[in-house]
Amino acid sequence: MREERRSNFSRRRVIKSSLAMMAGGALARAAEAAAAETEPAIKNVNTNSSPSALKITDMRYAVVVKPGPSPCVIIRIDTNQGVYGLGEVRDIAGPQYALVLKSRLLDENPLRIDYLFQKIAQFGGNARQAGGVCAVEMALWDIAGKVYNIPVYQMLGGKWRDAIRIYADTTESMDPVEYGKRAKERKAMGLTWMKMDLGINVLEGMPGTVMQPAGMSQWEKYAQPNLFVATEVTDKGVDRLCEYVAAVRDNIGYDMPLSMDHLGHIGVKSVIRLGKAYEKYNLEWIEDVIPWFYTDLLKEITTESPTPTLTGEDIYRIEDFEKLCNEHAVDKIHPDLATSGGILQTHRIGDMAFGYGVPMAMHFAGTPVSGMANVHCAAATRNFLALENHALDVPWWQDLVEGVEKPIINQGYTKVPETPGLGVTLNDDEVRKRLKPGTEYFAPTPQWNEVQSWDDALFS
Ligand SMILES: [Mg+2]
């Protein structure tokens, strides 16, 4: 980023130029040696930084609008040494989730990542309410990588893989033939793993396919957990849904992993019936079939359904993932790193799940900033399967950043960057072009500098 290049400075360079003004080269050399001796910790460090004296000085943001889940808030955490970190609030959550944390971060050393995560973790919650905490965590890793001149994955223990498998869904169609055709086009892009959204919405207006009380409000239909909407799929409905899956399989074959999401708000028994009906199509998973916190009911579905189950994109922190894994309530987990707690928490979630024999796919729908945070975590986590992407039809998505190999998604994979930190800088011009109307590009945020409430004492 240009702004950083302008503000970059090297403490050593300052010391050197000051000393050069002193009389006598020998005196300068002696003083320089003495200065170096007092700073042994920075010997192998980017000379733009002095880790022990690093402090957070600012947090700003830019809101990007893109097709698909949007807007996406990119944050920048600045330091007193010109090094900055980029992070991203989970798609569709507002910038305030990050900004409310600013007063708790100013003057802190950004390299104390776990400490700072624990300090701010209480201000995160499930789904998009964790967006701010996770954005900050990503930005802190970006800073640490730049300071120590290594990629983030290396600080997590190193790579299990050099490239990250990407999976994606396609646009839906009410016509099974057209749906199959779109799946084929996706496969032609080089993907090695696909997902299809298929829910009872495609049965709308088709008599005899769905049993549902008449006259329900939108709130009842979509804001109530599935279990309370008394909606079940009939035999005719199951048969019709199978036509879509058959069409997709006919077009992409049976060798390629195929997952399924958005089955609709239906009851536990209907989910089980669909899980049985889809057995012959060999799906990798059916996703978020009921809310993740009904552990016993999820376990019932997982036990009864021959099609594997998966959940996790709305779960914050490791504890609830461990409960699901310990109970084997789902076959696979699917954290969204911008909800689960950021890079380190998600790495820990993966390692924990590995111990229970549970694989981990990763949900993701943001810009390449958060995308790269996912790539580093996926590279360093053993039980990783595939990383989601929702921007395959957005040609400028990858133009938002610079510094990584393009195309970012190449034949279904993203190469793990070897550059320091997350490995991306922003393409200022492109991000400015994509700003949410009426918002500014990393404008000052002094109104968030002061702690405005005494709300972090959770016990006495
Ligand atoms: Mg999903």
Residues 74-88 pLDDT 10s: 999 999 999 999 999
Q: Quick one: 230 and 119 in the same domain? A: no
Above 90 in pLDDT, residue 421?
A: yes
Q: Quick one: 242 and 387 in the same domain? A: yes
- What φ, ψ does residue 125 adopt, rounded to 5°? -150, -170
Range ranked top by mean pLDDT from 5-9, 85-89, 219-223: 85-89
Above 60 in pLDDT, residue 37?
A: no
Above 70 in pLDDT, residue 253?
A: yes
Q: How far is the CA of 366 from the centre of ligand 1 (A)?
A: 14
Domain-embedded: residue 291: yes
Q: How far is the CA of 195 from the centre of ligand 1 (A)?
A: 10
Q: What is the DSSP string of 276-311?
A: HHGGGG--SEEE-SS-TT-HHHHHHHHHH-SS-EEE
Q: How far is the CA of 90 from the centre of ligand 1 (A)?
A: 14
Above 50 in pLDDT, residue 16?
A: no
Q: How far is the CA of 36 from the centre of ligand 1 (A)?
A: 52
Q: Quick one: 242 and 354 in the same domain? A: yes
Q: How far is the CA of 249 from the centre of ligand 1 (A)?
A: 20
Q: Directed axis angle between helix 131-148 and helix 343-355, to 10°?
A: 100
Q: How far is the CA of 182 from the centre of ligand 1 (A)?
A: 19
State the pLDDT at residue 48.
Answer: 63
Q: Quick one: 190 and 230 in the same domain? A: yes
Q: How far is the CA of 313 from the centre of ligand 1 (A)?
A: 7
- Report the amino acid identity of residue 26: A
Q: How far is the CA of 262 from the centre of ligand 1 (A)?
A: 7
Q: How far is the CA of 20 from the centre of ligand 1 (A)?
A: 61
Q: How far is the CA of 156 from the centre of ligand 1 (A)?
A: 26
Q: Quick one: 11 and 108 in the same domain? A: no
Q: How far is the CA of 388 from the centre of ligand 1 (A)?
A: 9
Domain-embedded: residue 337: yes
Q: Which residues of 65-81 are buried (b: 16+ CB within 10 A; e: fewer)?
A: ebeeebbbbbbbbbbeb
| 348-359 per-position pLDDT tens digit | 999 999 999 999
Domain-embedded: residue 460: no
Domain count across the chain: 3
Domain-embedded: residue 354: yes
The average pLDDT across 335-364 equals: 98
Could you tell me which of 295, 287, 377 has the C-alpha nearest to residue 332? 287
Could you tell me which of 390, 315, 399, 398 has the C-alpha nearest to residue 360? 315
Other beta carbons within 10 Å of 330:
27
Q: Quick one: 145 and 81 in the same domain? A: yes
Q: Is the dihedral of CA 183, 189, 190, 194 positive or negative?
A: negative
If you ran DSSP here, which 8-state letter would residue 129 be given? G
Q: How far is the CA of 214 from the centre of ligand 1 (A)?
A: 27
Q: How far is the CA of 289 from the centre of ligand 1 (A)?
A: 9
Q: How far is the CA of 294 from the centre of ligand 1 (A)?
A: 17
Contact 317, 123 (CB under 8 A): no
Q: How far is the CA of 78 from the centre of ligand 1 (A)?
A: 33
Q: How far is the CA of 261 from the centre of ligand 1 (A)?
A: 6
Contact 165, 416 (CB under 8 A): no
Q: How far is the CA of 48 from the centre of ligand 1 (A)?
A: 41
Residue 59 belongs to what domain range? 51-150+440-448
Q: Quick one: 238 and 105 in the same domain? A: no
Q: How far is the CA of 31 from the centre of ligand 1 (A)?
A: 60
Report residue 215 as tokens.
């006259």
Domain-embedded: residue 432: no
Q: How far is the CA of 197 from the centre of ligand 1 (A)?
A: 9
Q: How far is the CA of 14 from the centre of ligand 1 (A)?
A: 52
**H-helix segments, 46-112:** 96-99, 102-105
* Separation of alpha carbons 432 and 438, rounded Å: 12
Contact 168, 392 (CB under 8 A): yes
CATH number at residue 379: 3.20.20.120
| Rounded CA Rg of the chain | 25
Domain-embedded: residue 433: no
Q: Quick one: 256 and 118 in the same domain? A: no
Q: Quick one: 141 and 233 in the same domain? A: no
Q: How far is the CA of 62 from the centre of ligand 1 (A)?
A: 26
The three-class DSSP label of residue 402 is strand
Domain-embedded: residue 46: no
CATH number at residue 58: 3.30.390.10
Q: How far is the CA of 53 from the centre of ligand 1 (A)?
A: 42
Q: How far is the CA of 308 from the centre of ligand 1 (A)?
A: 15
Q: Quick one: 272 and 401 in the same domain? A: yes
Average pLDDT, the chain: 91
Q: Quick one: 144 and 221 in the same domain? A: no
Report residue 126 as tokens.
């499930």
If you ran DSSP here, which 8-state letter would residue 314 be given? T
State the pLDDT at residue 5.
Answer: 37
Above 80 in pLDDT, residue 20?
A: no
State the pLDDT at residue 31.
Answer: 52
Q: How far is the CA of 287 from the centre of ligand 1 (A)?
A: 6
